[in-house]
Amino acid sequence: MASQLDQLKQFTTVVADTGDFKQLSQFTPQDATTNPSLILKAVQKADYAPLLADTVAAHRGEALDAIVDQVLVRFGLEILKVVPGRVSTEVDARLSFDTEGTLARARRIIGLYQAAGIDRARVLIKIASTWEGVQAARQLELEGIHCNLTLLFSFCQAQACGDAGVQLISPFVGRIYDWYKKTAGSAWDEAANAGLNDPGVKSVTRIHAYYKQQGIRTEVMGASFRNVGQILALAGCDLLTISPELLAQLQATDAGGQPVLRQLGGGNTGATEPVPPLTEAAFRYALNDDAMGVEKLAEGIRSFAVDSAKLDALIEALR
């Protein structure tokens, strides 16, 4: 019998959210995504210690940030040997409010991939969806460098990304769920906020519908899942990036008893009047007005920055 993972793939492009490329083949994902935390987790495993050491040794004497990018790309290259589609590689989160710095790192990363013989169409540059990050992505897309705008929690972030013509966005389902659950405290009703009523699911559903209604080509990729229920509630989303642990659960569940049903429709409905682009002032005010969006964006940048610093330290110790 088909598994839930097999059925999900009929409606949605399945992406693996991991830096552990040795896990990938069993799930046959189309694409893969990485971030600083996932790469840090991978390089601390014994299986990947030689890869890290070899990469650092090959570039000893170069600037630390240049070696970091070499490590990130090395993992990306290994991932691309397994997946037929794209890999997402993230720009240092400490550049989240630096448009020019983001542009420089993104161009260097794509240059490293191209030097290794990889077509730029197979790489997505991950950038935090701050105003500065969106503007960097706007310019990169004009240069033919496709972007994945991450740490996306608020609708205004999605609107700005659509305005900028970015290739793909990654709204974070699980972290939105976490915020609402923590905020509600003892009043939280898990059953009432599950499935289609999950606040993270509702956020992605709204964004997906808006893009389709407006004819925006930006792909929507739900990310950061806490459970299988959130994933199944978004069947039909353009893409879903899923951890190996949850991919394994989907693969192990017989869809005969629990079939996967399409929840989100596809195609351009053209159902609404065009929405004018957000100005910087309007974006900043709308984000400021969304407590969840403000808090989770700041928290996410801080968390990725901490893990980037830890990766720096591991590499520094090998130089």
Segment 241-297, tens digit of pLDDT: 999 999 999 999 998 888 999 999 876 655 578 999 999 999 999 999 999 999 999
Average pLDDT, the chain: 96
pLDDT in tens, 79-118: 999 999 999 999 999 999 999 999 999 999 999 999 999 9
Q: Are the beta carbons of 139 and 311 closer than 8 angstroms?
A: no
Residue for token pair 């600037």: 63
User: Which among 75, 103, 34 has a CA at the least distance from the CA of 315?
Assistant: 75
Count Cβ atoms below 10 Å from residue 297 Cβ, excluding itself.
23
- Give the percent of the chain with pLDDT over 70: 98
Using H for helix, E for strand and C for coil, what is the string for the chain? CCEHHHHHHHHCEEEEECCCHHHHHHHCCCEEECCHHHHHHHHCCHHHHHHHHHHHHHCCCCCHHHHHHHHHHHHHHHHHCCCCCCEEEECCHHHCCCHHHHHHHHHHHHHHHHHCCCCHHHEEEEEECCHHHHHHHHHHHHCCCCEEEEEECCHHHHHHHHHHCCCEEEEEHHHHHHHHHHHHHHHCCCHHHCHHHCHHHHHHHHHHHHHHHHCCCCEEEEECCCCHHHHHCCCCCCEEEECHHHHHHHHHCECCCCCCCCCCCCCCCCCCCCCCCCCHHHHHHHHHCCHHHHHHHHHHHHHHHHHHHHHHHHHHHHC
Residue 165 carries which side chain, given as an amino acid letter?
A: G
pTM: 0.96
pLDDT in tens, 187-222: 999 999 999 999 999 999 999 999 999 999 999 999
pLDDT in tens, 167-194: 999 999 999 999 999 999 999 999 999 9
DSSP helix/strand/coil, 37: helix
- Region of residue 144 (left: phi > 0; alpha: psi -120 to 50; beta: else): left
Q: 292: exposed, middle or buried (C-beta count within 10 Å: 0-12, 13-18, 19+)?
A: middle
State the Cα–Cα distance between residues 14 and 3, nearest whole angstrom: 14
| Residues carrying an active site annotation | 126
Residue 93 has φ and ψ, to the nearest 5°, of -60, -20
Q: Domains (ranges, CATH) in the chain?
A: 4-318 (3.20.20.70)
